[in-house]
Structures are given as C-alpha cells and as structure tokens.
Chains A and B, each alone.
Chain A
C-alpha cells in the first residue's frame, strides 16, 4: 500500500485543492457537456444488454489494476482503460464508462477530488477515449485489416491517450497556479512514461545507483524502493543543476515503458479480437 501511495502522483487523479475554483468549474462544464452529449449519442443503442456490458468493462478497468506485478498497467490502468473502452464500445460509451470509474474512485477511494472531478473526468475519460479512438481508427485504416494492425493500432491509441491525459493535467495545474507549465508538463509526461512501464523502470532502477542505495537489504524491500526511486526520478530532472546520468534515466525507462505498455495492450487487444471472433455482432 505505501508503494502505491507514493506512486499516486503519476496516476493523474487530481485531489481537491490543486485546481483553482474557476478551473474546476470549467472542468465541470466540459465534463457535463461531454457526458450529456455521450448520453444522447448512446441513447438509441443502449439496450438492457449494453448497460451491463458497459458496467463490466468499467469493472474490468477497475479490477485490472488489481494485478500490479508484473503488469505495468497498475498505475495507468484507467488511462489505458479509456482507450480500451473506446476501442470496444466506441468513444461515447467509453466516456460514460470512464465517468463511472473515475467517479467511484473519487467517492469511495478518495482517489482524486470531488470538486475537481470534472477535469479528472475530462483528462482520464473524455480525452483518453477520443484520443484512443481516433488513433486506433486512423492506424487501423492505414495498416489495413488483420490482427497485427488491430493490436498495433490499439497499443498506439492507448499510449498516446496516456500522454495526452498527462499533458492536459499539467496544463490545468499550470493555469491554476499550482505548478508552472515548464515544470509540470515534462514532469507529468515523464512520470507517466515510467508509470506505463513500472516493471522495466524497476530493472533500470536496480541498475541505477540512485535507486538502490541499499542492495543488501531485503530483496523485496529493495525492489519496492527501486520502484519508488524510478517513479520519483522524473521529478528530480526538473532541478536545473542535476547531473547527466540521471537525466538519461527517464528517457531510457520511457522507451522501455513503451515496450511493456505495448505488451499489455497487445494482451488485451488479443483477448478482444478473440472474443469478437467468437461472438460476432
């Protein structure tokens, strides 16, 4: 649990107090607009069968975070989830699903604030759903039919949606005067690179002298500390006088993160593909 508490900043759930009131209200206007439109868009298609399906996708996105090792999905599961839901059920249904997930996380798990829920929904639900959907459709069209192209398109969509959600969060923090954009944007994006590939970040961290100050300690504890070091690292790079070896670290772990993130989404997309083939229509 403490590990995840420490990883919380890269999970993009903004708590109350971090956005100014004005920004929070703008978030609510955007979120309510998107949800209202999504409700209208989905009204015709939602049979009594569709709502449980959306519920289970929402629960899946929630539960997938329960497998936290060696899946890297834990910290960015909800973000991958936005794109995943969009690929399975379309972007408008995905907006509703992510609203449900993020709302419950805020209400029950205090994961993200209530007043800032509007922008949390926009960042992690609306932006990820549409980014995921558009990239997926675009790449699928470019790559043509086939399983590989489906997987590649889904992976790319999920990954780009994570970056866009992180970018949007940084902008909102900057507008609220909580964190200047020049600091928040690189930190958020870098942090989410690492978050997307915790496992690989762990390996990198184990090699890095910074992240394993006590290699003789309990193996498990050392691993956990490695995690923490890796996750916090990008925030250090914002300090101007930092040395070069540490700067190269987040970049490397970022690249590796793509690999693991891709593997995870491959797994999911494979399952979706199999499921669709099994039950067409």
Chain B
C-alpha cells in the first residue's frame, strides 16, 4: 500500500540521453516546460510538435517510444481544478448539459491546459528515468543551487528508503497484532483506528530521529565534513553543447510556430 513508488525512478541504460551531462538534461527539461507553458491556448500545432519531440526523445533514451506516455497520466487528475472552465468562460455555446452551457473558448482552454501539463510531465519523466539521482544532485550543485539545500535533498533521499522500511516494519507489526476473525470486518472503531494510526506516525518520528543520529555518526566516523563529494564529476562534452544548442533552437522555433498558427 505504498503511496509513493519508492523504487528508484532511474532506469539504467547506455543510450544517447543516458550519456548526457545531468546539467544538459536539467536545463533542457526546464526549457521544454517553459516553452510548453508559454504557448497560447489552442496552439494545436505547437502542442503536436512538443509531443512529437517527447516521442523522439523517448526513442533516444532506449526505453521505448511509449515509455513516458505510459507513465504520464499522473498529473491529469489535477485537471479537476480546471474542469469548470468550459462552463465559466463566456463565449460561443458548444453544448448544453442540463442548465449549464459549455463554451467553445472554455473548452479550448481546458484541453490546452491538459495537453501542456501532459507533455511537461513526459519531459520530466524522461529526465528522471535517464539520470541517476546522485547525478541529478551533482547537476543541481553545478548549476549553483545552494549547497545546504542540495545536502538536505541528498540526506532526504538517503533516509527515505531507510524510513520507508521502518514504516513498513511498523505496518507489519500492526498487522501481526491485529487479528481478524473470518467473516467479520477487521479493525476497531474509528477512534481506535485514529489512535493506532497516530501512534504509528509518532513512532516513526522517534525512530527517524534516532536513525538520523546513528547514520550521521557513522558518516562523521568515515570523514564526512558537511559536503557530499563525487570522485567522477561529469563533463560537458561537445555533444552536450551541440544537443543543447539544437534543442534551444528547436524550442524557439516551436514557440514561433505556436504563436503563428
């Protein structure tokens, strides 16, 4: 019942995209998302080009053209936040549902928002799937993100798996203590469940602090001085620069196309 997929999102590989410098991928993804957000509502050609670009990029990750598409529906439920647009934006009537009127303008805006968010998520998925987390961290640091912040992220990631194990252990302990008679519903009253759940969370907090102290002591014992270091820093190769320049040119042209059509 893990709500976050705690498995590492990185998919190992030796493709063109895997081999790029993490900085190239970070900057490229951010620019892609920026352009997707810049496009006006109803710029269907522009959206099509961006979607095609994610498919091509997915192909060059070696993970399969449909890789990102299959995983990209996570953000769509948020569309509920925009679902009222067809009803609230004034404009030409498209259809009537009971007392409500769907407007063309509102529907165009809703669909545009959903497409933009969908292609942006695909770009982010491709980046996260082709870059190991420590490389991403290194890239962030190299892009001048504050060291303290990157360190917190690094520790968080390090502890995340430890804590997820602790949480699972707590759940297992609870399950082991909670017998269910055949034919009856498990669990007690709502108040009881709330109390147990609160106890679990409280316990997890305690264990988290204890674990953090132990791990930190162990790191200090091994020479940790407050900064995470890497022995093999990636370098920006000619290929990185060429691809980045090509990518920027492509995105700029897409933006132009989006505004013209």
Contacts and interface: CB of A to CB of B under 8 A. Distances in A.
A137 interface: no
Interface stretch (A54-62, A141-149, A210-218, A245-253): A54-62
A7 B224 CA distance: 41
A48 B220 contact: yes
A70 B152 contact: no
B113 to A, nearest CB: 5
B78 A56 contact: no
Contacts of A226: none
A33 interface: no
B4 A35 contact: no
A106 B84 contact: no
B84 to A, nearest CB: 5
Contacts of A274: 206
Contacts of A42: 148
Interface in A241-281: 241, 259-260, 263-264, 266-268, 270-272, 274-275
B75 A110 contact: yes
Interface string B210-229: 01100110011000111000
Interface centre among B78, B166, B197 (most CB of A within 10 A): B78
B78 A15 contact: yes
A17 B37 contact: yes
A195 interface: no
Nearest to A187: B81
A24 interface: yes
A266 B205 CA distance: 12
A200 interface: yes
Given A16-B116, A108-B133, A272 B205 contact: yes
Interface stretch (B57-65, B118-126, B233-241, B244-252): B118-126
A263 B196 CA distance: 10
B159 interface: yes
Nearest to B171: A67
A184 interface: yes
Given A51-B148, A62-B160, A113-B75, A67 B197 contact: yes
Contact of B146 (A16, A39, A48, A111): A39
A179 B74 contact: no
Interface string A5-25: 111110001111111110010
B231 interface: no
Given A17-B37, A115-B37, A271 B77 contact: no
Nearest to B200: A67
Nearest to A57: B208
A9 B77 contact: yes
A114 B29 contact: yes
A51 B151 contact: yes
Interface string B176-216: 00000000010100100111111111111110110110011
Interface string A61-86: 01111111111111000000000000
B15 interface: no
A274 B88 CA distance: 52
B257 interface: no
Given A55-B152, A104-B157, A17 B136 contact: no
Contacts of A52: 155, 212, 215-216, 219
Nearest to B1: A68
Interface in B89-134: 98-100, 109, 112-118, 120-121, 124-125, 127-128, 133
B53 interface: no
B43 interface: no
25 contacts: A1-B5, A4-B3, A14-B78, A16-B37, A24-B37, A35-B146, A39-B146, A48-B225, A51-B226, A56-B155, A56-B159, A57-B208, A59-B208, A63-B159, A67-B204, A103-B153, A109-B5, A110-B71, A115-B34, A115-B120, A180-B88, A183-B84, A232-B80, A259-B194, A268-B201
Interface of B: 1-6, 9, 29-30, 33-34, 36-38, 71-75, 77-78, 80-85, 88, 98-100, 109, 112-118, 120-121, 124-125, 127-128, 133, 136, 146, 148-149, 151-160, 162-164, 166-168, 170-171, 185, 187, 190, 193-206, 208-209, 211-212, 215-216, 219-220, 224-226
Given A14-B78, A59-B160, A107-B136, 6 more contacts: A17-B113, A21-B34, A52-B212, A104-B157, A107-B124, A107-B127
